[in-house]
Amino acid sequence: MKTAYPFWIAGKSTVSDEIARVKHPTGELVAQHYVPTQADVEKAIAAAWAVRHEAAATSAATRAEALMHVSTQLQARHEEVARIITDEGGKPLMWSRVEVNRAISTFRWAAEEARRFVGELQRIDTDPTSVGRLGIIRRFPLGPVLGIAPFNFPLNLVAHKIAPALAVGAPIIIKPANYTPISALILGEILSETNLPEGMWSILPISREATKAITTDERLPILSFTGSDTVGYEIQKAVPHKHVILELGGNAAAVVLDDWSSVEDIEFAATRIAMFGASQAGQSCISVQRVLIHDSLYDKLVPKIVEKTKALTLEDAYNESTVVGPLINEAAAQRVEEWVAEAVTAGATVLAGGTRDGSYYAATVLSDVPVDAKVAACEVFGPVIVLAKVSSTQEAFDAVNNSDFGLQAGVFTHDIQTAFLAQSTLEVGGVIIGDVPAFRADQMPYGGLKNSGVGKEGVRWAMEDLTHERIMVLTGLEL
């Protein structure tokens, strides 16, 4: 174990007198890091504010080269970084490797987008009074960004904040999750090897209280937060004059319609639903949580889902084949246990799982769950799926929309008209046809409606969210 990881102030490796311990979800000490002082935090904010104009003026080549360097170095350090993700968060190694791959792609996409983020021309001479005029529209950073990242994807969700900001020339301060800060600090090591202006980025593993104090700082006009809806909306209410981007929770639904009926269809749907209801202990905002099955398929599909869920046994996160590892800590597993017990008391039936061992909670399938039970109405953020019958496409889509959240939904259908109906009807940010809602490609727009947040991730979409349009009108041209 490394003695202690430094934090990063204005691109510089920094230490302090205080050291924090990072533990694996099972309680084992896996790393330590230095904790920034209040003076360190002030230095980072002042540097971000001071460099904002220089950062915005950096060339596309400078930004793209820095971002591509991060991508290539993550590739070179792939296994090391994957094991760090497993160390600090308990994510099974197979999923940690997937996360590193995704972060490599995220920075590569940002490098590519930095080169083509050029704006547009607009014809102004559409009326006689505007003859000879042409508009040139470019986008400019709104200002320095405070990015607050969660524990469940400690590398790639930090990447989704850093990469778009650097791509548009916006200084950024990253506050990683307290449980999983080391992945972000490793990114600092790699970023320090680039030629970005001093002050363009800082990585501060500070407490929630210290974070709350800086959210109101006027020198950080952009806040990008990923986490719970409770905390996210508290931040938004505290700074109504700031540009706030919130990627919050969900209780994602997978709909299986009557045309998804072949033996191969049933096998595929059951495999995907079980896998992505339980993978990474269900700690993803688009994990499969609700499964709405057409009544003509219910008796065929449910036994398959149960069978495949039971096969996802709890194992050590470092085993190559482990799918379901521990939750982030024992308190999280206890909460899931309590929610399942509450549903059972209200009439639910446990078809698989339903047991806890410390910070591990078994992959669980429930049926006959009241719609107002927490496991159906709220975000479980654990390896629990809730099954329900529907008798029609409309009933299924109504059930999807009967939620305070609207992040993504999956619809298993072969019918193209139903696919377009789903896109136009479902109150979510993304509709995945022929698969579970847990699918995400890092270049696509990602974000939800209702309590799932405001704004978008996905590199280009985030770049637009971090910038504003400014038009210049040229006069007296012969067009």
Burial of residue 320 (number of CB atoms within 10 Å: 0-12, 13-18, 19+):
exposed
| Among 99, 247, 330, 379, the one annotated catalytic | 247
DSSP tag of 314: B
Distance (Å, whole) CA 115 – CA 347: 57
Neighbours of 345 (CB within 10 A): 9
Cβ–Cβ < 8 Å for 448, 250: yes
Q: Enter the tokens of residue 373.
A: 């039970």
> Which among 411, 467, 108, 131 has a CA at the least distance from the CA of 269?
411
Distances (CA, A) of 280 to 59, 114, 276, 300, 406: 39, 32, 8, 27, 21
Strands in 222-226's sheet, in edge-to-edge order, are 12-14, 7-9, 201-203, 172-175, 145-148, 222-226, 243-247, 453-454
Query: CA 220, CA 317: separation in Å to the nearest integer?
Result: 38
Closest Cα partner for 105 from 462, 441, 465? 441
**Cβ partners under 8 Å of residue 89, min gap 6:** 25, 151, 152, 154, 179, 180, 328
Task: Reply yes or no on whether 285 is catalytic.
Answer: yes
Known catalytic membership, residue 264: no
Pick the catalytic residue from 88, 113, 285, 379. Answer: 285
Residue 237 makes CB contacts below 8 A (sequence gap 6+) with none
User: Which distant-in-sequence residues (6+ apart) come within 8 Å of 31 by Cβ?
Assistant: 1, 2, 5, 21, 22, 84, 87, 88, 182
249, 272, 273: which is closest to 385 by C-alpha? 273
Q: Which residues are catalytic?
A: 247, 285
